[in-house]
């Protein structure tokens, strides 16, 4: 807790805020994007946007691994569970709507859906109940290695299949930076993902896009330092990659984790909810592990349908083109108790974070 | 007579901690609640103590002296007699210490599986010459808290997560009679509320909304014990939404607030402190200056309180 206290020290943070203000005076409007739900949590929970000058904007990009799973893949899990096979899923994924319903709805109609905290929970339950089942595997680079290690070491019990819906953040970052209609001046790279992929995975950002990138941790001081560092690089006209989170992230990342993932999965083009097709952004099981793949073993086929409810602006919010407060449904028809779109369902979704922790616009505070 | 209220008393529509029946110069204050908690026994108390303390506190924060209680207990068939005795004894111990009479009650047994162990409903009755509401805050008031927050909620959450908490965490379940007595002796209390489900966030929002004011809170000033901080950090839960069962918020003119804190500390409430102040109504109920110095809206707790997973 002692170390945490330092990273949350009000005086230190205010000092950084002052330095940010000084640099920002010399700059035009600056848009900085992060791509991690936990960063958005830190920014909103600690009210960091209120500590930034008016011309510095922090934008939440696609940082929620649950929000971006296409409705079609949720439908696949639902079709599987209605065919009488048990489906294990994470709590966040459980409530995300597909085109017609969510796994939670399926369960209330009698389907066998079990919520687990991790893959080992699924294995434990499977060993106890010995029921034909499927693990709905979602997540970014951070969650794939655990599952890959189980598969590589042949620790998957019979009759437990995998429905892989992993997505990768490095390819989506490339996609965003090459889009014409998203103007970003700097990137805060995701800390958790970077512990696996290594800081080096982001070196393309300054090299190809010519904008600064900072790998940052999840305490308020981490984020403020990242903003400071990005502004400084913009001012000096020397965009580089900086690793602010060196207490957890190495240059090359977790070699063992990456080896497991490479051994078990290959990269394929993948759909992202609200975004569309992104090159080499999805992990699928290699041929020698096909016997574990629920899609090939169960020949799942689903119709396509609408990804979002009418009015829902999740698609724009996921890409950072809109804020939750720009959505007509936000906190009216769509609340954490009655979520209409994926960004409000997941605890890592931008809408859910803003709703729970009072994100909204910069707070007017004229009481000093 | 109107349904939901007696004369000018406080009734069902105010959604206050309890209701009042005007009796000439005096008011009878009455409050009822059902208690279910899992596990039934926890460090710092059990469901019996909780049931007695909970309803007593609802009456106490309305400014009344609690005098009598009624209870109704529903027990699952096969529930160990010995455990039931322990629960009853903890309840009676609170009543004896507080000088509250148990005037009557009822026990029912339900078939196995029909109820989870024991469910207790208590009704507490108190009297006062001056009712304190949770809607009387005015700009210029300070908000005083009587002690550290989230002890009860953190204890129960940690136990439910299967963690060992003995010696680390302890429920704060205790009567607030003395706290309110001290506050009344200083006088000029504008509002009071006990912090229960929904935690500090929920109680502050209710106070502000009902009083039609905005409350500014300094997160750095909110007393939280080191152990609660560690558990909340570990479980990924915001302590501001976790329940207390023996902590009060008191709204008092700022000129008297320091004095109240001093008196509370003298009486053993060492962590009592001023956590915020009341200003004219803006579009928000509660604004929080966070530990990091940033500012945000402190929302009512929404959705399920689930530990964040990543």
**CATH number of the domain residue B71 falls in:** 3.30.1330.10
Closest CA–CA distance from residue A179 to any residue of chain B (Å): 29
pLDDT in tens, A138-196: 999 999 999 999 999 999 998 999 999 999 999 999 999 998 777 899 999 999 999 99
Query: Domain count of chain B?
Result: 2
Interchain contact A143–B (C-beta under 8 A): yes
Q: What is the average per-residue pLDDT within B169-177?
A: 96
Select the residue of B295, B302, B308 nearest A365 (Cβ to Cβ). Answer: B295
**Residues A339, A67 contacting (CB under 8 angstroms):** no
For an interface test with A, the pick among B279, B294, B295 (most A C-beta atoms closer than 10 Å) comes out as B294
Q: Judge if B124 and B158 occupy the same domain.
A: no
Interchain contact A357–B (C-beta under 8 A): yes
Task: Collect all residues of chain A within an 8 Å Cβ-Cβ radius of residue B168.
Answer: none
CATH number, position B293:
3.90.650.10
pLDDT value at position A361?
A: 64
CATH number, position A25:
3.40.50.11750
Residue B1 in domain? no
For an interface test with B, the pick among A119, A363, A364, A366 (most B C-beta atoms closer than 10 Å) comes out as A363
Select the residue of A50, A92, A356 nearest B294 (Cβ to Cβ). Answer: A50
Distance CA A188, CA A20 (A): 15
- Final residue of a domain: which of B128, B151, B178? B128
The pLDDT-based confidence of A197 (bands split at 50, 70, 90) is very high
Task: Collect all residues of chain B within an 8 Å Cβ-Cβ radius of residue A51.
Answer: 292-294
- CB–CB contact B292 A357 (8 Å): no
Q: Judge if B156 and B109 occupy the same domain.
A: no
Q: Is the pLDDT of residue A15 over 80?
A: yes
Name the average pLDDT for chain A.
93
- CB–CB contact B302 A367 (8 Å): no
Q: Judge if B264 and B162 occupy the same domain.
A: yes
Residue B20 in domain? yes
Q: Judge if B189 and B96 occupy the same domain.
A: no
Angle (CA) A214 A220 A221, round 5°: 65
pLDDT in tens, B237-284: 899 999 999 999 999 999 999 999 999 999 999 999 999 999 999 889
Residue spans of alpha helices (H) in chain A: 2-7, 10-24, 37-45, 71-82, 91-94, 103-108, 119-129, 144-152, 169-178, 191-197, 204, 220-236, 255-264, 294-298, 314-318, 342-345, 350-357
Q: ipTM of this predicted complex?
A: 0.84
Q: Judge if A78 and A162 occupy the same domain.
A: yes
By residue range, what is the domain housing residue B153?
141-297
Interchain contact A180–B (C-beta under 8 A): no
Q: Judge if A275 and A321 occupy the same domain.
A: no
Select the residue of B229, B295, B303 nearest A356 (Cβ to Cβ). Answer: B303
Query: Domain count of chain A?
Result: 3
Q: Judge if B115 and B156 occupy the same domain.
A: no
Q: Judge if B193 and B66 occupy the same domain.
A: no
Residue A364 in domain? no
Residue reference for tokens 């602010």: A244
Interchain contact A169–B (C-beta under 8 A): no
Q: Judge if B257 and B188 occupy the same domain.
A: yes
Residue B147 in domain? yes
Flag the least confident range among A173-187, A201-215, B136-150, B243-257: A173-187
Residue reference for tokens 């308020």: A220
Closest CA–CA distance from residue A93 to any residue of chain B (Å): 12
By residue range, what is the domain housing residue A292?
71-168+253-298
Residue A131 in domain? yes
With CA atoms as reference, the chain A residue closest to B293 would be A10
Residue B2 in domain? no
Interchain contact B197–A (C-beta under 8 A): no
Share of chain A above pLDDT 70, in %: 98
pLDDT value at position A359?
A: 78
Q: Judge if B107 and B153 occupy the same domain.
A: no
The pLDDT-based confidence of A303 (bands split at 50, 70, 90) is confident
Q: Judge if A209 and A229 occupy the same domain.
A: yes
Distance CA A295, CA A317 (A): 30
- CB–CB contact A363 B297 (8 Å): yes
Interchain contact A53–B (C-beta under 8 A): no
Q: Judge if A237 and A262 occupy the same domain.
A: no
Residue B52 in domain? yes
Residue B236 in domain? yes
Q: Judge if B293 and B146 occupy the same domain.
A: yes
Instruction: Tell me the backbone φ, ψ of residue A58, rounded to 5 degrees.
Output: -100, 125
Residue A308 in domain? no
Q: Judge if A158 and A50 occupy the same domain.
A: no
Cis ω before B39 (30° cut-off from 0): yes
Interchain contact B293–A (C-beta under 8 A): yes
Interchain contact A175–B (C-beta under 8 A): no
With CA atoms as reference, the chain B residue closest to A193 would be B310
Cβ-in-10-Å burial (0-12, 13-18, 19+) of B85 comes to exposed
């Amino acid at each position: 807790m002692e170390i945490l206290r330092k990273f949350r020290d009000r005086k230190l943070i205010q000092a950084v805020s002052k330095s940010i203000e000084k640099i920002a005076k010399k700059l035009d409007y600056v848009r900085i994007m992060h791509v991690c739900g936990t960063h958005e949590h830190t920014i909103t929970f600690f009210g960091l946007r209120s500590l930034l000058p008016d011309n510095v904007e922090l934008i939440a990009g696609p940082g929620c691994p649950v929000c971006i799973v296409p409705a079609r893949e949720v439908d696949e899990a639902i079709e599987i569970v209605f065919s009488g096979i048990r489906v294990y899923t994470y709590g966040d994924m459980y409530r995300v709507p597909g085109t017609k319903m969510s796994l939670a709805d399926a369960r209330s109609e009698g389907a066998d859906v079990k919520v687990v905290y991790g893959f080992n929970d699924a294995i434990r339950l499977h060993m106890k109940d010995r029921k034909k089942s499927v693990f709905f595997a979602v997540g970014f680079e951070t969650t794939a290695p655990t599952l890959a290690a189980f598969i590589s070491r042949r620790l998957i019990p019979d009759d437990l299949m995998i429905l892989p819906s992993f997505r990768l953040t490095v390819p989506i970052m490339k996609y965003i930076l090459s889009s014409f209609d998203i103007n970003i001046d700097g990137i805060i790279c995701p800390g958790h993902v970077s512990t696996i992929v290594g800081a080096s995975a982001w070196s393309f950002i300054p090299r190809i896009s010519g904008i600064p990138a900072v790998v940052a941790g999840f305490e308020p001081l981490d984020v403020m330092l990242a903003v400071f560092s990005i502004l400084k690089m913009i001012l000096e006209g020397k965009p580089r990659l900086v690793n602010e989170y060196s207490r957890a992230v190495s240059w090359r990342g977790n070699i063992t984790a990456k080896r497991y993932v490479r051994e078990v999965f290959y990269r394929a083009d993948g759909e992202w909810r609200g975004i569309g097709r992104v090159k080499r952004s999805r992990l699928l099981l290699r041929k020698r592990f096909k016997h574990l793949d629920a899609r090939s073993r169960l020949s799942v086929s689903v119709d396509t349908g609408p990804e979002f409810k009418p009015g829902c602006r999740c698609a724009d919010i996921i890409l950072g083109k809109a804020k939750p407060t720009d959505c007509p449904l936000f906190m009216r028809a769509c609340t954490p108790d009655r979520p209409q779109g994926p960004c409000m369902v997941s605890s890592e979704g931008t809408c859910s974070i803003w709703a729970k922790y009072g994100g909204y616009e910069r707070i007017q505070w004229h009481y000093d | 007579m109107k349904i939901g209220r007696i004369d000018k008393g406080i009734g069902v529509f105010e959604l206050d901690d309890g209701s009042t029946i005007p009796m000439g110069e005096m008011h009878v204050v009455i409050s009822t609640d059902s208690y279910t908690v899992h596990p039934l026994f926890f460090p710092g108390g059990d469901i019996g103590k909780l049931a007695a303390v909970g309803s007593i506190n609802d009456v106490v924060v309305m400014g009344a002296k609690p005098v009598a209680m009624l209870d109704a207990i529903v027990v699952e068939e096969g529930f160990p007699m010995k455990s039931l005795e322990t629960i009853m004894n903890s309840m009676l111990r609170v009543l004896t210490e507080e000088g509250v009479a148990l005037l009557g009650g009822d026990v029912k047994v339900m078939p196995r599986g029909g109820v989870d162990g024991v469910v207790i409903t208590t009704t507490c009755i108190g009297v006062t010459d001056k009712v304190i509401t949770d809607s009387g805050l005015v700009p210029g008031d300070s908000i005083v808290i009587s002690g550290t927050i989230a002890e009860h909620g953190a204890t129960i959450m940690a136990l439910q997560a299967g963690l060992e908490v003995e010696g680390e965490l302890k429920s704060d379940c205790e009567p607030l009679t003395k706290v309110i007595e001290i506050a009344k002796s200083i006088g000029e209390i504008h509002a009071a509320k006990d912090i229960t489900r929904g935690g500090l966030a929920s109680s502050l929002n209710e106070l502000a909304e009902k009083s039609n004011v905005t409350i500014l809170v300094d997160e750095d000033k909110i007393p939280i014990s080191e152990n609660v901080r560690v558990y909340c950090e570990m479980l990924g839960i915001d302590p501001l939404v976790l329940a207390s069962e023996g902590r009060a918020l008191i709204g008092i003119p700022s000129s008297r607030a320091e004095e109240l804190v001093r008196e509370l500390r003298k009486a053993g409430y060492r962590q009592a402190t001023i956590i915020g102040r009341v200003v004219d109504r803006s579009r928000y109920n509660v604004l929080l200056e966070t530990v990091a110095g940033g500012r945000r809206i402190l929302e009512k707790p929404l959705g399920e309180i689930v530990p964040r997973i990543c």
